Chains A and B, each alone.
Chain A
Amino acid sequence: EAGVTQSPTHLIKTRGQQATLRCSPISGHTSVYWYQQALGLGLQFLLWYDEGEERNRGNFPPRFSGRQFPNYSSELNVNALELEDSALYLCASRFGQGGNEKLFFGSGTQLSVL
């Protein structure tokens, strides 16, 4: 069974450009989470999608947005890139219920903003 897949692995952009990151959850998982992990910092919650809807977002500006498609894959868009957006972006899908919800992570997209 394939795990959570993210693309691209690495992405280099310049300040002011837009970046699009993609995530495919494990088959059967309907929830997708996005996290930002800047160098030396912990994972910061960005967005949560479930059944095609945005359920919650973290404390990030509106230029961070995304969507979830009918096949439950998701993309994260970052507009007007700033230098401090350089980070590892991690996607996770969730499986289980009743307290047994478990997160499964992809390998991440390393975004570098020059």
Chain B
Amino acid sequence: KQEVTQIPAALSVPEGENLVLNCSFTDSAIYNLQWFRQDPGKGLTSLLLIQSSQREQTSGRLNASLDKSSGRSTLYIAASQPGDSATYLCASGTYKYIFGTGTRLKVLA
């Protein structure tokens, strides 16, 4: 049974800092790993998808890496901004998608 864990549960940083969010999964038989952003009371917005054969993906200030052998993925956010404040979720992709409980990020101006 796949279990997905995200650390830390919450993070508060000053504007401009680079930061790393962590995602761990127990079953490495995944198609892909997807990172999402969720604003309060809203749906999820897809940020990055890393296929199981890939090691990383980049979009703007975001970079996500995947290490299937260790069951880990990281989301790196460069030069954080107050607009980045949200909850970040990772999901392991198989025939169903299992989500971590998320990291609540607050970027202080």
Contacts and interface: CB of A to CB of B under 8 A. Distances in A.
Task: Say whether A and B bind each other.
Answer: yes
Interface stretch (A13-21, A40-48, A62-70, A75-83): A40-48
Interface in A63-114: 88, 90, 92, 99-108, 110
Counting chain B residues whose Cβ lies within 8 A of the other chain, the interface size class is 20 to 34
B96 A56 contact: yes
A103 B51 contact: no
Interface residues of A, number: 25
Interface of B is mostly: strand
Contacts of A42: 89, 99-102
Given A42-B100, A90-B44, A103 B91 contact: yes
B95 A56 contact: yes
Interface string B39-58: 00111111001011100000
B48 to A, nearest CB: 10
B34 interface: yes
Given A88-B41, A110-B41, A103 B98 contact: no
B43 A90 contact: yes
Interface in B19-52: 31-32, 34, 36, 41-46, 49, 51-52
Interface of B: 31-32, 34, 36, 41-46, 49, 51-53, 89, 91, 93, 95-102
Interface of A: 4, 33, 35, 41-43, 45, 48, 55-56, 58, 88, 90, 92, 99-108, 110
